Amino acid sequence: MKKLKQRSKSAGNILTITNGTSETLRDGVVVNSENVRRVSDHVPKHLKPLNNEQLGYYLAGLIDGDGHFSKAQQLVIVFSSPDAFLAYYLKEKLGYGNVKKVKDKNAYLLIIANKKGMLQVINLINGKLRTKHRFDQVVNNVLNHNKYTDQNIHFTLDSSKNLDNH
């Protein structure tokens, strides 16, 4: 078997193959007209939500995965250390919350306890949570508490099978 020597332009449009190797690759130039590009590791790891609808789905996903509503009427979301910037981003975007480093752990917590902040989060995620457990936490630990009984919020669970929410 002969070795394959490849050379490409930075745009990834032309690939030159010399010293053919298998039955499928022969000597010559292959024009790449089918959007096949080399994989780059310079792809953004996180896309920021553009509007409140997207922010609501983003928050609901975080809460369903790594968050909870405590009996002390607080929202707590856990972030790994490399993702701590997301906790600070959410704190800034929401205008409420505290970010704390977990002692002796590689984790940070975003804690929202302020009533206005909690109501803002609840309104953003209303109809977007997917897990019954988190839904029950919102209803039982927050909305049924004396501090929130003056609010008339019809909180719903997203039980649809549609996962195209962006």
Least confident of 1-5, 136-140, 158-162: 1-5
Class of domain 52-148: alpha beta
pLDDT band of residue 159 (cuts 50, 70, 90) is: confident
Percent residues over pLDDT 90 in the chain: 60
Tell me where in the chain the CATH 3.10.28.10 domain(s) lie: 52-148
- Minimal CA–CA distance to 77: which of 123, 113, 125, 109? 109
What CA dihedral angle connects 74, 105, 55 and 39, to 10 degrees?
-170
Q: Tell me the pLDDT tens digit for each residue of 23-76.
A: 554 555 544 445 444 544 444 555 666 789 999 999 999 999 999 999 999 999
Q: Tell me the pLDDT tens digit for each residue of 10-20.
A: 454 444 445 55
